[in-house]
Amino acid sequence: MAGSSVKPTPVLKDELDIVIPTIRNLDFLEMWRPFFEQYHLIIVQDGDPSKIIKVPEGFDYELYNRNDINRILGPKASCISFKDSACRCFGYMVSKKKYIYTIDDDCFIFIDYPSVHIDRLDFEVILRDMKPLVAKNPSGEQINALEQHIKNLLSPSTPFFFNTLYDPYREGADFVRGYPFSLREGAPTAVSHGLWLNIPDYDAPTQLVKPLERNTRYVDTVLTVPKGTLFPMCGMNLGFNRELIGPAMYFGLMGDGQPIGRYDDMWAGWCMKVICDHMGYGVKTGLPYIWHSKASNPFVNLKKEYKGIYWQEDLIPFFQSAVLPKECVTVQQCYIELAKQVKEKLGKIDPYFIKLADAMVTWIEAWDELNSPAGKSSKQPNSTAK
Ligand SMILES: O=c1ccn([C@@H]2O[C@H](COP(=O)(O)OP(=O)(O)O[C@H]3O[C@@H](CO)[C@H](O)[C@H]3O)[C@@H](O)[C@H]2O)c(=O)[nH]1
Ligand SMILES: [Mn+2]
């Protein structure tokens, strides 16, 4: 019986790293301190490496800037984006933990929305004028976004048959009548995709036509993305099982010198989902929500996205029809095969996809090098704390 004995969520303190890409500052950590302080942070500093990023006292972290990435990866550093949040995937590579949680530095614990009427107030104003109420679930317990991701990752997914009462492993729910018992074990969960209140993750055209739209809808559910279905994965509030799917979580080559931006997480999500479907892993989306406080500039975003907006009309059919041979039994093998198909089938859309396919191979080479026994002892961050 799913969910019949509710065990407290293990904190996974020594099995999970929190990866934060940043080009700004890390003041947001103060709000997350009660939830993050016991975890190890991997901070990927983007942009000018000579800039000093101040990490609030008391956090256990390692920080990598571009000089570190170049030093550790050498020529393979070419696969890690510069001047784009895609750089965060370097943190996935250098981590040694089983789980990763990645979050943007403008995301906060969301306020207990129903009881706090926020009329488009800027979040900093709220922080200054009131102690944000950490959201509570229906039984009145404080919602800890990281804990919800851990719950999602530690419980199975149901990619092969849809459960109409949503997550059957959640307390107070179960499989409904007609759900095959042979499928009730579920599949191992590889990814937990969280959502956002306030500023939604819209593309630039949508941002431009709906500049004031805020997401105020808190939907209290976790769904498994069915096998064979793709989805737009956002890197803002994302957890994953690094041992299961880490090598597939390459955030595509974006930013400086690249023709598109803001498709890094999308690219990773499409590659990851094809591989999860092949490997029999599950992907969940829904809870937890975080409060996304800053809308990035829609005009800047349009310049980054526009080629992607029409390219994706060809990319999606490519991923929907991608088939991985049964000989591909590891994520790395799947990824290399996918990179081959990207080069063959998407290279004719634009030379960028040939470069991207090569970067995908470089990523796997770097991943395997860094995560080999010899590699694990080679990385030295530019600064670590307690
Ligand atoms: O050049 C850069 C720009 C930003 N960062 C860090 O990345 C995250 C996200 O940045 P930001 O909040 O400014 O951008 P959004 O548009 O809200 O982000 C969404 O779009 C995706 C970009 O692909 C991203 O994953 C989504 O969350 C912050 O932590 C910035 O500090 C950077 O490192 N380099
Ligand atoms: Mn943001």
pLDDT (tens digit per residue) in 171-180: 999 999 999 9
Do 275 and 338 meet the contact criterion of CB atoms below 8 Å apart?
Answer: yes
- Please, what's the b/e burial string for 316-344 (b: 16 or more CB within 10 A of its CB; e: otherwise)? eebbeebebeeebeebbbbbbbbbebbbe
- How far apart, in whole angstroms, are the C-alpha atoms of residue 55 and residue 124? 19
Going by pLDDT thresholds of 50, 70 and 90, the confidence category of residue 6 is low
Residue 279: which CATH number?
3.90.550
pTM, entire model? 0.92
In a domain, 152, yes or no: yes
Q: What is the pLDDT of residue 3?
A: 55
List beta partners, residue 103.
Answer: 237
For residue 4, being part of any structural domain is answered with: no
Q: What percent of the chain has pLDDT over 90?
A: 80
Q: What is the pLDDT of residue 118?
A: 43
Predicted pLDDT at 117: 45
**Token digits of residue 80:** 């890690």
Ligand 1 atom 27 nearest Cα = 236
Answer yes or no: is the C-beta of 167 below 6 A from any ligand 1 atom: no
Q: Does residue 257 form part of some domain?
A: yes
Ligand nearest to the CA of 21: 1
How many folded domains does the chain comprise? Answer: 1
- Assess if residue 319 is contained within a domain: yes
**If you take atom 30 of ligand 1, which residue's CA is the nearest one?**
22
178: left (phi over 0), alpha (psi -120 to 50) or beta: left
CA of 257 to the centre of ligand 2 (A): 22
Q: What is the pLDDT of residues 271-284, one digit of tens each?
A: 999 999 999 999 99
Does a structural domain hold residue 170? yes
Indicate the top mutation candidate among 104, 123, 290 to test ligand 1's pocket, ranked by most ligand atoms within 8 A of CB: 104
Residue 343: inside a domain: yes
Q: Residue 178: what pLDDT?
A: 98
C-alpha of residue 236 to centroid of ligand 1, in Å: 8
Q: What is the span of the domain harbouring residue 236? A: 16-114+123-373
Only one residue has tokens 């299961």, namely 244
Is 381 domain-assigned?
no
Interacting residues of 147 by C-beta distance below 8 A, sequence separation 6+? 9, 11, 35
The end-to-end CA distance of the chain, in Å, is 43
More confident site: 1 or 28: 28
Residue 383 lies in a domain: no
Residue 21 above 50 pLDDT? yes
